[in-house]
Amino acid sequence: MNEYPTLKRWIAAVLTIVAIGAPVAYWISRGDVSKLLDPAPANAQQAGANGDWIMYGGTPSRNMVNTTVKGLPAEWNVAKKTNIKWVADLGSKAYGGPIVAGGKVIIGTNNMKPRDKKWDFIDKKTGKPVDLGVVMCFSERNGDFLWQAVHEKLPGGQVVDWPYEGICSSAHVEGNKFYYVSNRCEVICAEIATGKAIWTLDMIKELGVFPHNISDCSPLLIGDHLWVVTSNGVNEDHLNVPAPKAPSFIKVDKTNGKVLWQDNTPTAALLAENKGNLEQKDFFKALVNRGKLIQHGQWANPAYGVVNEQPQVIFPGGDGWIYSFDPKGNLIWKFDCNPKDAKYELRGKGTRNDFISTPVIYKNRVYIGVGQDPEHSLGVGHFYCIDMTKKGDVSPELVTDESVFPPKTKKNDNSAQVWHYGGVITDEKDQKRLKRDNYFGRTMSTCAIHEDLVYIAELSGILHCLDANTGKVYWDDDTESETWSSPYYVDGKIYLGTDSRVVFVYEHGKTAKRLAENEMGGRVRATPIAANGVLYVMTENKLFAISK
């Protein structure tokens, strides 16, 4: 394929046939191809000193913290373009990214504002854009559009590929390649210069995965291996797991996409215990409430750390358990993040949760909060600090008799729970003081931990600041708006995007201090990030590069 500056426009299509017989992906690039290679900044050493943001969470620990970027503004004005470096148009929804590497910014969106108005991207009958998953790439220097990778929707409908969600995976960049998961449940390795796929692993065709609603994992690259949560989940009725034999967690060779290891622990009980003596509906609910089956979907991301010279890959399972594996795939420990009497209710006020947020590793501990699909509304949640040095079942309680519900339990002397925050408020004084029913509600957010202070937001929009060692509450602040975004620490400040179209900015510390409320013109559901002296905030339809 040609790549010459004189070539003004070129189109390439890659059609891959899956078991269901549908084309899976297109790839297209437009504009002056010379833009693909950004010139070096005038002061390259200074510009690169702060570093890129190459994956979700910045590092394998997934901690939403950047300690190198300085001089970022607390305030900006989108309408007046104050402190706005550049703005790029996206689709109508954008949840994947942003990732900054090699002079490029990569994000995930949909096709509702097509970059190419020909071919199959516009419906010829209606004249409207075709619903597609799109990875877009922009110049870090000036926001120029460089290329896009485009993926058709799965033919199974919203149960496997929810309309207009686009690409929800944030890429992981290594050198001249990047890795992501498409809306078609594919793990893809592509060229960062062009977006062209190098290899594709179709998890539906090759592994039998049934993705519930969307495939969205942000892959974790450790050495030569990619670790990916497959998004395997329940059927449209939410009363069965169509693919219990399919893996929930896999390890992939980064060079060719070959699956080297797989695990289906969250569905193992369904295979082992279904003797046909119960109706499927009752059997499903019984297993879910015992913490032995995928509750809904599996939309969180893995994390990685080394504890006492032991590498650990952390997998947040769809059954509400956190699992730690060594690099060979051997289980080190597991932790139940639900009380043993918790019950799961679809769209109700159930007390059992799983994970939307990503585990964060900090000083030999895992920090994570539980939650549900935001369509299930608000509810009771929990936030845990877990010691990574133990082995086996390190849950707070062990079940001694599961023939009844709630099951009979005993205290686990080998528990790895360092501290826990959350649960229903039963103290009348606390209810009056906090003006809510729960100490901590369901969350979709990944936490940020800096200088032993944990910042974590719940779905309702309350931002909490806790002591990382003890769980002591220093402060919380109610933004009065739901948030899918995560708090992000950089330059002595905490940035938090919300559904009220506002980015709240706080001063880092043990006392609550709001510095600014910045109106963005659109809901901010992706997490703000910083790289090379610039703050990036992505609304559902625009990407803003913000700097002084």
Q: How far apart are CA 108 and CA 538, in angstroms?
A: 10
pLDDT tens-digit readout, 453-493:
999 999 999 999 999 999 999 999 999 999 999 999 999 99
State the pLDDT confidence band at 118, using cuts at 50, 70 and 90. Answer: low
Q: Please name the amino acid found at residue 471.
A: G
Closest by CA to 134, choosing from 165, 108, 173, is 108
Q: For residue 394, give both structure tokens.
A: 């390190």
Q: How far apart are CA 128 and CA 513, in angstroms?
A: 46
pTM of the model: 0.91
pLDDT at 7: 33
pLDDT at 122: 85
- Rounded mean pLDDT of 347-375? 93
Residue 60, preceding peptide bond in cis (omega within 30° of 0): no
pLDDT at 16: 35
Is the predicted pLDDT of residue 12 greater than 90, yes or no?
no
Do 519 and 78 meet the contact criterion of CB atoms below 8 Å apart?
Answer: yes
Mean pLDDT of all residues belonging to the chain: 89
State the pLDDT confidence band at 52, using cuts at 50, 70 and 90. Answer: very high
DSSP-assigned letters across all residues of 484-531: -S--EEETTEEEEE-TTSEEEEEESSSS--EEEEEE-SS---SPPEEE
Is the predicted pLDDT of residue 307 greater than 60, yes or no?
yes
Q: Which is higher by pLDDT, 283 or 105?
A: 105
Q: For residue 113, give both structure tokens.
A: 């504002």
Taken in order 475, 479, 484, 488, is the CA torsion positive or negative? negative
Q: How far apart are CA 342 and CA 11, in angstroms?
A: 53
pLDDT tens-digit readout, 172-204:
999 999 999 999 999 999 999 999 999 999 999
- Rounded mean pLDDT of 118-123? 73
Window from 20-34, 88-102, 229-243, 431-445 with minimum mean pLDDT? 20-34
State the pLDDT confidence band at 2, using cuts at 50, 70 and 90. Answer: very low
Taken in order 315, 317, 322, 324, is the CA torsion positive or negative? negative
Residue 39, preceding peptide bond in cis (omega within 30° of 0): no
- Rounded mean pLDDT of 3-26? 36
State the pLDDT confidence band at 115, using cuts at 50, 70 and 90. Answer: confident
Q: What is the largest CA-CA distance in the chain?
A: 73
CA distance to 100, 239, 403, 491, 500, per residue, from 503 (Å): 20, 38, 49, 16, 9
- Rounded mean pLDDT of 97-115? 95
pLDDT at 44: 29
CA distance to 188, 192, 253, 400, per residue, from 172 (Å): 11, 11, 14, 43
Q: How far apart are the first and last CA of the chain?
A: 41
Do 91 and 112 meet the contact criterion of CB atoms below 8 Å apart?
Answer: yes
Q: Count other Cβ atoms within 10 Å, centred on residue 407.
A: 17
pLDDT tens-digit readout, 425-436:
888 888 888 888
State the pLDDT confidence band at 24, using cuts at 50, 70 and 90. Answer: very low
Q: How far apart are CA 154 and CA 543, in angstroms?
A: 27
pLDDT at 358: 98
pLDDT at 280: 65
Helix (H, G, I), strand (E, B) or coil at 536: strand
Q: Please name the amino acid found at residue 513.
A: K
Is the predicted pLDDT of residue 45 greater than 80, yes or no?
no
Highest mean pLDDT among 49-53, 413-417, 436-440: 413-417
In this prediction, what percent of the chain has a pLDDT beyond 90?
Answer: 79
Q: How far apart are CA 525 and CA 109, in angstroms?
A: 12
- The sheet that has 220-222: what strands, in order across it? 220-222, 225-229, 249-253, 259-263
Do 504 and 537 meet the contact criterion of CB atoms below 8 Å apart?
Answer: no
Closest by CA to 322, choosing from 272, 369, 285, is 369
Residues 6+ away with beta carbon under 8 Å from 148: 28, 29, 30, 115, 134, 135, 136, 137, 195
Q: How far apart are CA 58 and CA 170, in angstroms?
A: 11
Do 4 and 32 meet the contact criterion of CB atoms below 8 Å apart?
Answer: no
Helix (H, G, I), strand (E, B) or coil at 336: strand
Q: Count other Cβ atoms within 10 Å, centred on residue 354.
A: 28
Domains of the chain: 9-546 (2.130.10.10)
Q: How far apart are CA 502 and CA 494, in angstroms?
A: 13
Closest by CA to 470, choosing from 409, 547, 385, 346, is 385
pLDDT at 137: 98
